[in-house]
Structure formats: structure tokens, C-alpha cells
Amino acid sequence: MKTLLKIVSFTALASAMVAPVAHAENFKDEVETRKAHMQVVKYNMGVLADMAKGKREYDSALADAAANNMLNLASMNNMALWPKGSDNESLGDKTKAKPAIWAADSKVGEKHQAWADASKNMAAVAGQGLGDLRQAMGPLGKSCKGCHSDYKAK
């Protein structure tokens, strides 16, 4: 009986130690893909922000392209990249996504819609002139920060 108890205890302990690793591997593709998606967002946002701040010469064609890229990225249905359990409490430093994204009272959908709306506005005006781009930059930046403040770990 003691041997059986030791075997059961050891098996339970080993399973508990392996489960987080196996769980992390289950979401490897999703986490890597959403990180890549965010890198493309960051790049295009940087192009627009640098033009707005005067760090990069305004180029209407490039501004238009970056803004349309942002709109396309915001319009993608990437729900498959956000499975429940792919948060930083479950996966550790593999992601910065907070579990609050999946909470019942989460406002992540509203915040995503704000980003999509701000991206649509930016895409409509970015190529029309630096003044228009600068005016649209505030709401776009605010929409990004709104989600990151609540749902992205530092």
C-alpha cells in the first residue's frame, strides 16, 4: 500500500511539474504569431509617429501605406491567436498578455473597436497632409495605450 501511495504521489507531482510546460507548448504558435502581429503594428505606428513628430520627413505615399497597414491589422479577425490560458500568469514570460483579457468584465472588445475606428480614421487622412496625420495621431495612440494599460504587462 505504501508503494502504491508513493507511486500515485510521484505521478501527481510529476504531472503538476510537466503540465505548465505542456500547456505553454500548446499555445506556442498563437503567442509567437500575435507577437509578430504586434511587431508589424509597432513598425507602422512608428512610421506614422515619426512623421507626426518631425523625426521623419512626411511622405504622403508612405503615410498612406502605413495607415492602411494599420487598418488592415486592426481589421483582421485574429481571435484564434488569443486562446484562454495564453496569458502571462499561465505562460510566464512567454507573453505579456494579462489574464484580465479573458475576464467576464473585460472591455478588450471595446478597446479593440476603438483601435479599429482610430485606424480607419488615420487611413482616411494620413496621405492628405502632415496636419491631418498629426490630428489623427492622438486618437490612434490613445487607442493603443488604452488596451496596453489594462491588458499588457510591463
Return the pLDDT at 104: 94
34-60: pLDDT as tens digits: 999 999 999 999 999 999 999 999 999
91 neighbors 23 (Cβ within 8 angstroms): yes
Segments of the chain assigned E as strands:
none
Backbone angles phi and psi of 96, in degrees to 5: -105, 5
- Kindly state the cell numbers that stand for 84: 484562454
User: Which CATH number is associated with domain 2-151?
Assistant: 1.20.120.10
- What's the CA gap between 45 and 34, in Å, rounded? 16
Structure confidence at residue 26 as a pLDDT band (50, 70, 90): confident
- What's the CA gap between 119 and 147, in Å, rounded? 14
145 neighbors 134 (Cβ within 8 angstroms): no
Distance between terminal CA atoms of the chain? 50
- Kindly state the cell numbers that stand for 138: 492622438
64-114: pLDDT as tens digits: 999 999 999 999 999 999 999 999 999 999 999 999 999 999 999 999 999
- What's the CA gap between 153 and 145, in Å, rounded? 12
Q: pLDDT at residue 4 above 80?
A: no
Which helix (H) or strand (E) segment holds residue 62: the answer is helix 60-75
How is the chain split into domains, by residue range? Answer: 2-151
